[in-house]
Structure 1
Amino acid sequence: MITITEFQKIGVGLSGFGVFFVMFGVLLYFDSVLLAFGNILFLSGLAFIIGFRRTAHFFFQKQKLRGTTFFLGGVALVLLKWPRIGMLVESYGFVVLFKSFFPMAFGFFGTALNIPFLTTMYNKLSGSSSSMV
């Protein structure tokens, strides 16, 4: 069984509130204060969950430097009160940074929840030929 430390519990809470504030900021027509607060909470929660050194190592790997530049540049644009452009840049950076996790997430949700659309998408992304499309 995996043990979860107190820092990781705090990190999950911070990340959850960060995602909530980002979604709430988008719903309120890209409110820059809520988006900035959500970005800061999400990044600090990520650092609490996986550790500060691992977070820095993840973001500053050579093959992920373009995604990191776009993601942190988008955060900076949101902090500089350009929320729409900042969220577009940040979204592109997020996709580039976390593209290796998407097939695993689609597979998990597709098999755990038995959702046909996600299972088909996982099979296509993973290169499996057992898809019945």
Structure 2
Amino acid sequence: TLNKTKTQRYIGIGLMGFSLFFLVFGMLLYFDSVLLGFGNILFLTGLTFIIGFKRTAQFFFQRHKIRGSFFFLGGVSLVLCRWPIIGMLAESYGFVLLFRSFFPMALGFVLSAVNIPFLNTVCFFLSSSSSMV
């Protein structure tokens, strides 16, 4: 069962990559509801493949995350009902509510990446470039 779980995670990561592509492409094409809806479905499917159905349901339906889940899943359904702008706004608000405990950890990881020698050099050159404006 170890290979099955590993394979499912790889499939989930691939689905999340396609989801990101369709969501960005859908926004670039002036909030095309079909592309955004497909991206949303791929996102939820990829999340389910990565962490499993039971843990996905537990994540979305925790008591303290029910408002974020309502806005996120409501936004997904609004996008699927062809109201893409309002749906994406509701989804974004729900995403922030759902993952707000994750943001400090992600920010800490990004800030610790500055200590990597190559990135430190790149950041130094980007910050020292002067503009002639």
Structure 2 length as normaliser, TM-score?
0.82
- Alignment of 1:46 onto 2:56: no
Q: Which residue of 2 aligns with 1:129?
A: none
SS of the aligned residue for 1:24 comes to helix
Unaligned runs of 5+ in 2: 121-133
Aligned length: 114
Superposed, which structure 2 residues align to 1:1-133 within 5 Å? Answer: 5-114=6-115
How far residue 110 of structure 1 moved from its aligned partner, in angstroms, is 1.1
Matched residue type, 2:6: T
In structure 1, distance between residues paired with 2:102 and 2:27: 24
Q: Give deviations 1:44-66, integer Å, cap 9, x for gaps.
A: 00000011100000000000000
Unaligned runs of 5+ in 1: 117-133
How far residue 112 of structure 1 moved from its aligned partner, in angstroms, is 1.6
Higher percent of residues as helix = 2
Once superposed, which parts of structure 1, at least 4 consecutive aligned residues long, lie more than 3 Å away?
113-116
- Supply the RMSD in Å over aligned alpha carbons: 1.6
Identity %, equivalent residues: 67
